[in-house]
């Protein structure tokens, strides 16, 4: 993490309030500043037919005052619940996703609710997917019951971004005094591979050895964290979604390939953003890092 600033998308919805609570708890542990962020994504077009009323290009005064009031209310509540946490507000007349991706280069975390008031801010799944796929820092999508005392669960494979996910998960667990559950899921095989041990839903010693060595190396780096490791034959999305039911945080890595317009994010990450029973952290492999 390059900077101690947490940017939280805030639109006063219950999901945004949950995101703010998560961000404030994290900031209380790490000393980060929390920025409450709101984006106006107001219509900028006008209908061609003169008989149709044109929408306002920018929000009117009443809406503007309401938004500023909501953000100030969030700051006031934060001072009451987390007086040690520094806060600030940010309002932009621009795309929420594009602005958050740009600002993520100077943030330690982006924190979003699982949905929000899309008519004004667009803080819905599309924004979470786009920001998770292209942010320069980890993205937290707050879901489920954040009071859960379970482990930090992290999904790994053989890609470089799995190392980033492991590092983030272990750092989070060390800060929280929580155990870590590492899951490596091999997809079930079919076709010409049906005679292999994987079709019996068993991971061979040869398949598991590199995984065990990886876990041992990270255990040496974090001796204070209790780590359990599971090698299973299952679709990663299914295995991790099931593990999320007893987790306090679920961490996955993503390469985030593709142009922004495609809002591409790995299928496992997308599934978990929609179906995880707990908060999800998406740790992206940034080009050139």
User: Which sign does the torsion angle of CA 159, 146, 87, 174 carry?
Assistant: negative
Question: Residue 111: what pLDDT?
Answer: 97
Name the least confident of 6-15, 40-49, 242-251, 272-281. 40-49
What percentage of the chain exceeds 90 in pLDDT? Answer: 58
Instruction: Tell me the residue length of the chain.
Output: 289
Chain-centroid distance of CA 90 in Å reads 20
pLDDT in tens, 180-232: 999 999 887 665 555 555 565 678 888 889 999 999 999 999 999 999 999 99
What value does the mean pLDDT of the chain take?
A: 83
* Higher-scoring residue by pLDDT: 156, 203: 156
For residue 8, give the nearest of 165, 121, 133, 168 by alpha carbon. Answer: 121
Average pLDDT over residues 3-26: 92
The Cα-based distances of 25 to 22, 128, 130 in angstroms read 5, 21, 25
Question: Residue 192: what pLDDT?
Answer: 55
Say yes or no to pLDDT of 110 above 50: yes
58 contact partners, CB below 8 Å, separation of at least 6? 40, 42, 93
Intra-chain end-to-end CA distance of the chain, in Å: 12
CA 8/CA 19 separation, integer angstroms: 7
* Strand duo 249-254 + 280-284: pairing: parallel
Average pLDDT over residues 16-36: 96
**pLDDT-derived band at 106, boundaries 50, 70, 90:** very high
Which residue has 């859960």 as its token pair?
Answer: 148
CB 216 within 8 A of CB 245: no
pLDDT in tens, 116-139: 444 334 344 578 888 998 999 999
For residue 115, give the nearest of 129, 101, 105, 102 by alpha carbon. Answer: 129
Is 250 in a helix, a strand, or coil? strand
In a 10 Å sphere around its CB, with 0-12 CB exposed, 13-18 middle and 19+ buried, how is residue 159 labelled? Answer: middle
CB 283 within 8 A of CB 254: yes
Question: Residue 128: what pLDDT?
Answer: 87
* Higher-scoring residue by pLDDT: 41, 4: 4
Name the least confident of 65-79, 147-161, 246-260, 270-284. 246-260
pLDDT in tens, 82-99: 999 999 999 998 889 999
Question: Residue 147: what pLDDT?
Answer: 64
Chain-centroid distance of CA 159 in Å reads 19
272 contact partners, CB below 8 Å, separation of at least 6? 237, 240, 241, 244, 250, 252, 280
CB 112 within 8 A of CB 101: no
CA 241/CA 274 separation, integer angstroms: 10
Question: Residue 262: what pLDDT?
Answer: 36
Say yes or no to pLDDT of 1 above 90: no
Say yes or no to pLDDT of 261 above 90: no
* Higher-scoring residue by pLDDT: 113, 125: 113
CA 103/CA 217 separation, integer angstroms: 33
Name the least confident of 13-17, 73-77, 173-177, 264-268. 264-268
Question: Residue 22: what pLDDT?
Answer: 96
For residue 41, give the nearest of 111, 81, 3, 92 by alpha carbon. Answer: 92
Quickly count helices (H) and strands (E) in the chain. 8, 10
């Amino acid at each position: 993490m390059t900077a101690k600033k947490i940017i939280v998308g805030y639109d006063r919805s219950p999901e945004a309030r949950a995101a703010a609570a998560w961000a404030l708890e994290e900031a209380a542990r790490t000393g980060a500043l929390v920025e409450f962020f709101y984006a106006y994504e107001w219509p900028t077009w006008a209908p061609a037919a003169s008989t149709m009323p044109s929408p306002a290009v920018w929000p009117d005064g009443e809406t503007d005052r309401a938004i500023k009031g909501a953000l100030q209310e969030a700051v006031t509540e934060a001072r009451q619940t987390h007086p040690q946490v520094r806060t600030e507000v940010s309002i932009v007349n621009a795309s929420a996703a594009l602005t958050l991706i740009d600002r993520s280069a100077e943030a330690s975390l982006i924190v979003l609710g699982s949905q929000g008031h899309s008519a004004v801010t667009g803080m819905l799944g599309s924004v979470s997917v786009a920001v998770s796929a292209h942010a320069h820092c980890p993205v937290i999508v707050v879901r489920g019951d954040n009071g859960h005392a379970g482990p930090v669960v992290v999904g790994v494979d053989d890609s470089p971004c799995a190392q980033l996910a492991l590092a983030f998960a272990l750092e989070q667990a060390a800060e929280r005094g929580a155990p870590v559950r590492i899951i490596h899921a091999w997809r079930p095989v079919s076709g010409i591979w049906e005679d292999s041990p994987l079709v019996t839903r068993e991971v061979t010693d040869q398949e598991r050895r590199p995984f065990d060595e990886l876990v041992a190396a990270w255990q040496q780096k974090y001796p204070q964290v209790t780590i359990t490791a599971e090698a299973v034959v299952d679709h990663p999305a299914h295995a991790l979604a099931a593990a999320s039911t007893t987790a306090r945080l679920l961490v996955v890595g993503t390469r985030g390939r593709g142009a922004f317009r495609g809002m591409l994010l790995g299928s496992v990450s997308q599934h978990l953003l929609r179906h995880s029973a707990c908060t999800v952290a998406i740790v992206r492999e940034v080009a050139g890092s």
